[in-house]
Amino acid sequence: MKLIGKTILITGGTRGIGLELATQLLAAGNTVLVTARGAAGLASVRQALPGVHAIQSDVSDPVQIAALYEEVRLRFPTLNVLINNAGIMRNLDLSHVAQPERIADEIAVGLSGPILLTQYLLPLLRQQPAALIVNVSSGLALVPFVIAPVYSAAKAGMHAYTRCLRAQVKNTSVRVVELLPPGTETALFRGEFEKEMKGQKGMPVIELVKQAIKGIEAGRQEIRPGLAKILGVMSRLAPDFMMAQMARMSAPKA
């Protein structure tokens, strides 16, 4: 599918990968809707990218998901692309998690929320002659990252769900693509991992998004840029070795 002249909803579109997707897809002549929780981020997108429809909506909250669905159905009935991109990534030591809600919301943002949003929007997408769902998981869906245990579990779940969804809608007008980014230079990559990732460089976000759009337009089902491709191969050849290597790489540095 060429990403030109489409109506595209991107969750988590106020920074990082989502914002860059919005920027490149708007420039290509699409109608772009973005969501996020923070009002300041939404205001700054409206200013930086006039023409983008910025909607406040928390993908971890079923009530807000239902409200978003109603708004999209009424205002953008031609929606034909959903990009489940919003994400949070926590650095958790499981023997010392003081706030269990930090686990629950990581699962809700990374797994149950996007599944629910997709379920709401699927009938609308199926009405279109051609539609697309892009689930942004992670290379960590293939090899878990020890210091991000709940994130890795949510992304592995998203990978499994995406494969099932693709199989279930294969005889409809809806295509399902999974984007598995490698470490990418965004707030999420640095956020709670600054100490561990010191000296590591992520992929530039512009490059990641260019590869994502190119892969979608080329008809790929799974897009694994850069290191994510290596993680995919190694997760089959030597899964324990690869997991140990990743753990070593993320050992705290002085």
Q: State the residues that interact with ligand NAP by CB under 6 A.
A: 11-18, 35-38, 41, 58-60, 85-89, 109, 136, 138, 181, 183-184, 186-189, 202
Distance in Å, CB of 212 to ligand NAP, minimum: 10
* Count of CA atoms in the C-beta half-sphere (13 A) of 226: 18
Distance in Å, CB of 78 to ligand NAP, minimum: 23
- State which residue, 187 or 254, has the beta carbon closest to ligand NAP: 187
What b/e sequence results for 19-34 when a residue is b if at least 16 CB atoms lie within 10 Å of its CB, and e otherwise? bbbbbbbbebebbbbb
- State which residue, 101 or 254, has the beta carbon closest to ligand NAP: 101
Neighbours of 199 (CB within 10 A): 7
- State which residue, 18 or 149, has the beta carbon closest to ligand NAP: 18
Phi, psi of 170 (to 5 degrees): -60, -25
Distance in Å, CB of 71 to ligand NAP, minimum: 14
The backbone region for 136, taken as left when phi is positive above 0, alpha when psi lies in -120 to 50, beta otherwise, is beta
Distance in Å, CB of 158 to ligand NAP, minimum: 8
Residue 171 burial by CB count (10 A; 0-12/13-18/19+): exposed, middle or buried? exposed
Quote the CA–CA distance of 24 and 102 in Å, as a whole number: 32
∠ CA 103-8-56, nearest 5°, is: 50
- State which residue, 144 or 202, has the beta carbon closest to ligand NAP: 202
Active site residue 151: yes
Catalytic residue, candidates 69, 120, 151, 161? 151
N-terminal to C-terminal alpha carbon distance within the chain: 47
Could you give the residue numbers annotated as active site?
151
